[in-house]
Amino acid sequence: MLERIHLEILTAIKEHGTLTKAADSLHLSQSALSHSIKKLEGQIATPIWKKDGRNLRLTAAGERIQTLANRVLPQFLHTELLLKQIAKGEMGSLRIGMECHPCYQWLLRVIQPYLVQWPDIDMDVKQEFQFGALGALLSYEIDVLITPDPLFKPKIEYIPVFDYEHRLVVSASHKLAKQNFVLPEQLSEEVLFSYPVEPLRLDIFSQFLNPAKCSVKKHINIETTEIMLQMVAAGRGVCALPGWLVDEYSKSMPIKSVRFGENGIGKQIFVGIRKNEQHIDYLNDFIAQAKKTK
């Protein structure tokens, strides 16, 4: 009853809004597109779209089918790509999803030797996802997920590749720079810079400030690591980053890192893959290279 073309049609309608534009995007005639949907509507005995002026609006049934399309169509495309590569004798592609803003420099050190080892592998890195990074992995939009905060699911395997300590970053002249560790209440008058992530997903809040019922004076989002650290070096505020990253930047910038509390915040970077792809050699070699790269 429900065919791939129906999923593609509703996705095109959702994206373009009109029958004409949807038909053009799919290289179909308007009559063929309409006939296909009318036949499906007859089979399920309910309308799939309604006219809204010059545009088309999906009904509840249409929205349900289009939700299915969001999950299924990427899997079709991924499988077709793999089949084409197999037919041509090519190995495949590796699409990496990043849920770790400061991990790009580490990832570059992983990628460089990996590409030498696998010259026939194409690679892409994504950081923005329509339905979240885990959703992208489950729906075959990406093949590998790099994250410090795994959400464990039955179909996903997470492999820890290295340990690190999450640390507070201050300017070299900051009053906290000479301390061995910082207490939550000592940040109450500080401006905190962070990546644009929900505060509940930031370790400085979830593992340090919130349990002590403390907060900061002001919280400002900054997109890039370099600008964030320039602001910290200038004494404009503080931030929290992996210790290994701070060590690299402190060689050329007047910044220091301080432990969160006496025990610190220990973290791990994980590589997530789909469990049904554990046998793929180039995925396993990527994980092995990630484990060797510090």
Model pLDDT, residue 89: 43
Q: Is the domain of 263 the same as that of 245? A: yes
Q: Is the domain of 103 the same as that of 239? A: yes
Residue 7 pLDDT class (50, 70, 90 cuts):
very high
Instruction: Point out the domain boundary residue: 61, 84, 107.
Output: 84
Instruction: Point out the domain boundary residue: 84, 116, 142.
Output: 84
- Let me know how long the chain is: 294
CATH code, 197: 3.40.190.290
Q: Is the domain of 128 the same as that of 193? A: yes
Model pLDDT, residue 236: 97
Q: Is the domain of 77 the same as that of 212? A: no
pTM attached to this predicted model: 0.67
Model pLDDT, residue 25: 92
Mean pLDDT of 227-236: 97
Give the domain range for residue 27. 4-84
Mean pLDDT of 108-112: 93
CATH code, 24: 1.10.10.10
Q: Is the domain of 157 the same as that of 262? A: yes
Average pLDDT, rounded, for the chain? 91
Model pLDDT, residue 203: 95
Q: Is the domain of 63 the same as that of 102? A: no
Highest mean pLDDT: which of 53-57, 90-94, 119-123, 229-233? 229-233
To the nearest whole percent, how much of the chain has pLDDT over 70? 97
Q: Is the domain of 156 the same as that of 205? A: yes
Q: Is the domain of 101 the same as that of 182? A: yes
Total number of domains constituting the chain: 2
Instruction: Point out the domain boundary residue: 31, 58, 84.
Output: 84
Residue 197 pLDDT class (50, 70, 90 cuts):
confident
Least confident of 89-93, 147-151, 213-217, 288-292: 89-93
Model pLDDT, residue 198: 87
Q: Is the domain of 208 the same as that of 243? A: yes
Q: Is the domain of 127 the same as that of 187? A: yes
pLDDT tens for 75-104 read 888 888 777 765 554 567 899 999 888 888
Structure tokens at 93: 């592609």
Q: Is the domain of 36 the same as that of 120? A: no
Model pLDDT, residue 82: 74
Q: Is the domain of 69 the same as that of 98? A: no
Model pLDDT, residue 87: 58
Model pLDDT, residue 10: 92
Model pLDDT, residue 5: 92
Model pLDDT, residue 285: 93
